[in-house]
């Protein structure tokens, strides 16, 4: 029996062996929907399930429609004869990554004061849509199958979210906050990201109601808010069963957000104020089980990494993803990148960065992964693997870091039942990378295959089994 299964699996693999993984870097032009019970099998590679468990070697994952139906050692998992097979031999399979802090309206340009006016002068909404489409595709091709967008004008972001869900645009699955809620904010950033200023808690509650009614997936509580503001936002959001993510740095703000019942604490431990937070605050966060998303790598690490290797700014993949017009504008904005306003406090941030991250890793807090993807020089194509690498370098085990970016993030965003791990019943979001991310996190920068919702979106060949009859294959 065992041998029979092995032979069956092997035969399937041989049938597609001419197709090397990763040969097709572009997404399938017309991704064949796997709906209606269509079967897909990823066979041969090491499997990281998203749990903090040892890897499964020489594994197989079977997908039917958009769901995972089996996963385990390939000697034990039967590959259906009618499945499309993707050979993952010599590679690593893991759950699609989840980004809990991205911004589709930006894609690494150096300055908001010039980026948003440039968009307005080059097509306005049409250009904004184009930018978001590029960002969404970059994320997906980087293995990020789900992204929480934490700040964008309402209509455009909901529109791209829905178009991606309908399959009209190839991109990461988006959960969107729409405009963030803040007090006393101004300038190009506030305008470009569509920020809403409030001046009373009542107003904070009303804006939350309005956003929830418009169909946002969550609320972002941005800068300058009081304890009562947070309370009003949380109350309104929870009535609509959506979560609140707070943008907080200073101890007092973190304390307010925590006690007001904010669901996710963003940015804590990165830059801003001098680490560490008080023991009491960390203990209260840990005991409350409140998730933190440090967003460590942007600025503090990205700046230094760029100083060491400025060539990263001219990555030909960026040129290809952006197209000539946007690429030229981004290049122009980064000419003297070390002088940019965004990096003004980076000297201080680099001094604080290790203590900032380690205080949470060592505390046992629930930690997700988010990157502020799209901010200056923080490209969607690489932000998440950089963030994971920083956490591992700061002492987080690779297993925990990968779990954070997959299963734990899924729980944080309220999708723990559907996403984040490779096991029967979950939605089939799976990536295949070249190398062993348990040994070297940068293996996550070599994403060769992306399966989202049961559909091969990158690489793999998506080789269908031989049609059973002479019917024209379409
Ligand atoms: Zn933020
Ligand atoms: Zn942000």
C-alpha 227 to ligand 2 mean position (Å): 21
Average pLDDT over residues 286-308: 96
- Ligand at minimal distance from the CA of 185 is 1
Q: Is the pLDDT of residue 23 over 70?
A: no
Q: Which ligand is nearest to the CA of 102?
A: 2
pLDDT at 33: 45
Res 269: pLDDT: 84
Distance 388 CA to ligand 2 centre (A): 17
Higher pLDDT, 467 or 230: 230
Q: Which ligand is nearest to the CA of 148?
A: 2
Ligand nearest to the CA of 371: 2
CA–centroid distance, residue 188 to ligand 1 (Å): 15
What's the 267 CA to ligand 1 centre distance in angstroms? 7
C-alpha of residue 101 to centroid of ligand 1, in Å? 8
Q: Dump pLDDT digits (tens) for 416-430.
A: 999 999 999 999 999
The C-alpha atoms of residue 153 and residue 180 are separated, in whole angstroms, by 9
Alpha carbons 34 and 297: distance in angstroms, whole number: 36
The ligand with the least distance to the CA atom of 182 is 1
pLDDT at 272: 67
pLDDT in tens, 30-82: 444 444 579 999 999 999 999 999 999 999 999 999 999 999 999 999 999 99
Ligand 1: centre distance to CA 148 (Å): 12
Quick one: which ligand is closest to 181's CA?
Answer: 1
Q: Which ligand is nearest to the CA of 246?
A: 1
Q: Nearest-CA neighbor of 47 among 8, 19, 76?
A: 76
pLDDT at residue 353 tops 50: yes
Give distance in angstroms: CA of 467 to centre of ligand 2. Answer: 48
Q: Is 16 helix (H, G, I), strand (E, B) or coil?
A: coil
State how far the Cα of 423 lies from the Cα of 391, in Å rounded to an integer: 25
Q: How far is the CA of 292 from the centre of ligand 2 (A)?
A: 14
Please tell me the distance from the alpha carbon of residue 27 to that of residue 460, in angstroms, as a whole number: 10
CA of 266 relative to ligand 1 center, distance in Å: 7
Residue 461 banded pLDDT, cuts 50, 70, 90: low
Task: Please report which ligand is nearest the Cα atom of 105.
Answer: 2
- Average of pLDDT values for 122-150? 98
What pLDDT was estimated at residue 274?
80
pTM for the model stands at 0.90
Distance 150 CA to ligand 2 centre (A): 6
What's the 272 CA to ligand 1 centre distance in angstroms?
12
Residue 401 banded pLDDT, cuts 50, 70, 90: very high
| Cα 219 from Cα 199, distance rounded (Å) | 17
- Distance from C-alpha of 474 to C-alpha of 470, rounded to nearest angstrom: 12
Q: DSSP strand E in 222-325: where? A: 243-247, 264-266, 292-293
- Kindly indicate the confidence band of residue 469, based on its pLDDT and cuts at 50, 70 and 90: very low
Averaged pLDDT for residues 234-261: 97
Give the number of whichever ligand sits closest to the CA of residue 112.
2
Q: Is the confidence at residue 456, as pLDDT, over 90?
A: yes
Copy the structure tokens of residue 461: 């060949």
Tokens of 40: 């897909």
How many Å lie between the centroid of ligand 1 and the Cα of residue 413? 16
Cβ-based burial of 4 (10 A; exposed 0-12, middle 13-18, buried ≥19): exposed
Phi/psi class of residue 63: alpha, beta or left (left: φ > 0; alpha: ψ in -120 to 50)?
beta
94: CA distance to ligand 1 center in Å? 28
Q: What separation in Å is there between the alpha carbon of 97 and the centre of ligand 2?
A: 18
Within a 10 A sphere around the Cβ of 90, how many other Cβ atoms?
11
How many A from CA of 180 to the centre of ligand 2?
A: 10
Q: Which ligand is nearest to the CA of 222?
A: 1
Distance, CA 40 to ligand 1 centroid (Å)? Answer: 38
375 CA from centroid of ligand 1 (Å): 10
Q: In what order do the strands lie in the sheet with 92-95?
A: 46-47, 92-95, 430-433, 447-452, 455-458
Separation of CA 310 and ligand 2 centre (Å): 23
**What value does the mean pLDDT take over residues 170-193?**
97
- Mention every residue, 6+ apart, whose C-beta is less than 8 A from residue 223: 182, 183, 184, 185, 247
**Torsion angle, alpha carbons of 182, 187, 188, 190, to 10:** 10
Q: Which residues are placed with Cβ below 5 angstroms of ligand 1, an ion?
A: 247
Judged on CB neighbours under 10 Å (0-12, 13-18, 19+), 416 is middle
Confidence of residue 273 (pLDDT cuts 50, 70, 90): confident
- What pLDDT is recorded for position 463? 53
* Structure confidence at residue 196 (pLDDT): 97
CA of 422 to the centre of ligand 1 (A): 30
CA of 445 to the centre of ligand 1 (A): 24
What are the tokens at 199? 């001046």
| 466 Cα to the center of ligand 1, angstroms | 50
pLDDT range class, residue 169, cuts 50, 70, 90: very high
pLDDT of residue 242: 98
pLDDT (tens digit, 9 = 90+) per residue, 81-132?
999 999 999 999 999 999 999 999 999 999 999 999 999 999 999 999 999 9
What pLDDT score was predicted for residue 415? 98
pLDDT at 360 over 90: yes
Distance 429 CA to ligand 2 centre (A): 25
């Amino acid at each position: 029996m065992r041998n029979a299964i092995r032979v069956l699996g092997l035969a399937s693999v041989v049938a597609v062996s001419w197709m090397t993984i990763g040969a097709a870097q572009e997404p399938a032009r017309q991704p064949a929907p796997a709906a209606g019970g269509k079967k897909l099998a990823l066979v041969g590679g090491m499997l990281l399930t998203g749990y903090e468990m040892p890897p499964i070697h020489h594994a197989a994952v079977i997908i039917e429609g958009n769901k995972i139906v089996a996963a385990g050692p390939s000697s034990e998992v039967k590959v259906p004869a009618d499945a499309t097979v993707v050979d993952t031999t010599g590679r690593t399979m893991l759950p699609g990554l989840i980004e809990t802090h991205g911004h589709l309206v930006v894609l690494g340009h150096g300055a908001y004061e010039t980026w948003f006016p440039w968009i307005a002068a080059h097509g306005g909404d049409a250009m904004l849509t184009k930018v978001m489409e590029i960002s969404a595709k970059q994320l997906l091709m980087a293995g990020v199958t789900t992204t929480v967008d934490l700040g964008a004008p309402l209509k455009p972001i909901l529109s791209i979210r829905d178009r991606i869900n309908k399959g009209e645009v190839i991109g990461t699955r988006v959960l969107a906050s729409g405009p963030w809620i803040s007090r006393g904010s101004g300038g190009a950033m506030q305008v470009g990201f569509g920020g809403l200023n409030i001046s009373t808690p009542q107003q904070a509650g009303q804006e939350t109601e309005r956003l929830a009614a418009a169909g946002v997936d969550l609320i972002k509580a941005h800068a300058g808010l009081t304890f009562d503001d947070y309370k009003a936002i949380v109350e309104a959001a929870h009535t609509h069963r959506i979560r609140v993510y707070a943008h907080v740095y200073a101890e007092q703000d973190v304390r307010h957000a925590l006690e007001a019942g904010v669901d996710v604490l963003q940015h804590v431990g990165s830059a801003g104020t001098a680490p560490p937070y008080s023991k009491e605050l960390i203990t209260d966060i840990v005991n409350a089980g409140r998730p933190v998303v440090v967003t460590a790598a942007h600025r503090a690490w990205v700046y230094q990494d760029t100083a060491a290797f400025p060539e990263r700014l001219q990555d030909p993949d960026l040129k290809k993803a952006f197209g000539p017009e946007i690429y030229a504008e981004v290049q122009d904005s980064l000419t003297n990148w070390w002088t940019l306003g965004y990096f003004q406090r980076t000297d201080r941030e680099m001094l604080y960065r290790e203590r900032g991250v380690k205080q949470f890793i060592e505390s046992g807090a629930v930690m997700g992964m988010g990157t502020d993807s799209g901010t200056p020089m923080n490209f969607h194509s690489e932000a998440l693997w950089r963030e994971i690498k920083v956490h591992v370098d700061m002492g987080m085990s690779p297993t925990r870091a990968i779990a954070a970016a997959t299963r734990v993030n899924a729980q944080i965003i309220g999708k723990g039942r559907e996403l984040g791990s490779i096991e029967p019943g979950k939605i089939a979001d799976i990536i295949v990378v070249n190398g062993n991310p348990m040994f070297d996190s940068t293996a996550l920068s070599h994403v060769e295959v992306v399966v989202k919702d049961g559909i091969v979106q990158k690489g793999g060949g998506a080789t269908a089994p031989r049609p059973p009859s002479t019917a024209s294959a379409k």
